[in-house]
């Protein structure tokens, strides 16, 4: 399986249980791709499966592996793709927490310390 196929698989898997969360990731990833297209002329079909690890870790290269890893890590704000936390994202997160309490609650496993903090504040 390629990293592109794996990224799509992860999004579709999330969508089985929580379409709203899948669409959140989809919108952010789409913005990421559009930005790279406008800035560097990289079309979606030209996104490499992998890039040099050092460049990916420094957030200087686009790749399907970088996208998949962000989804794997449950990176809600997609900071691994160079996004910042926004008020709209916070609002959307609160809506998701209240709507999908059975899937997004204080037991949610994530490496994202900011997301953990917000979930703990909201879920007690």
Angle at 82 between CA 76 and CA 86, to 5 degrees: 55
Q: What is the DSSP-derived secondary structure letter of residue 61?
A: S
Pairwise CA distance, residues 19 & 17, whole Å: 7
Smallest CA-to-CA distance from 76 within 36, 103, 116, 34 is with: 116
Cβ atoms of 7 and 13 within 8 Å: the answer is: no
Give the pLDDT of residue 103: 58
Q: Is the pLDDT of residue 49 over 90?
A: yes
Q: Is the pLDDT of residue 112 over 90?
A: no
Cβ atoms of 96 and 38 within 8 Å: the answer is: no
Q: How far is CA 55 from its chain centroid?
A: 19
The tens digit of pLDDT for each residue in 2-46 reads 999 999 999 999 999 889 999 999 999 999 999 999 999 999 999
pLDDT-derived band at 47 (thresholds 50, 70, 90) equals: very high
pLDDT-derived band at 116 (thresholds 50, 70, 90) equals: confident
Place of tokens 């050092």: 54
What is the domain extent for residue 77? 3-123
Query: How many domains would you assign to the chain?
Result: 1
Smallest CA-to-CA distance from 105 within 16, 18, 10, 4 is with: 18
């Amino acid at each position: 399986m390629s990293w592109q196929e794996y990224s799509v698989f992860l999004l579709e898997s999330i969508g089985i249980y929580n379409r709203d969360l899948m669409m959140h990731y989809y919108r952010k990833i789409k913005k990421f791709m559009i930005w790279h297209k406008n800035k560097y002329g990289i079309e979606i079909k030209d996104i490499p499966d992998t890039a040099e690890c050092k460049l990916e870790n420094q957030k200087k290269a686009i790749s399907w592996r970088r996208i998949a890893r962000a989804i794997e890590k449950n990176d809600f704000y997609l900071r691994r793709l160079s996004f910042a936390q926004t008020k709209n994202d916070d609002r959307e997160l609160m809506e998701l927490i209240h709507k999908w309490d059975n899937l997004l609650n204080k037991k949610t496993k994530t490496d994202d310390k900011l997301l953990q903090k917000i979930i703990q504040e909201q879920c007690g």
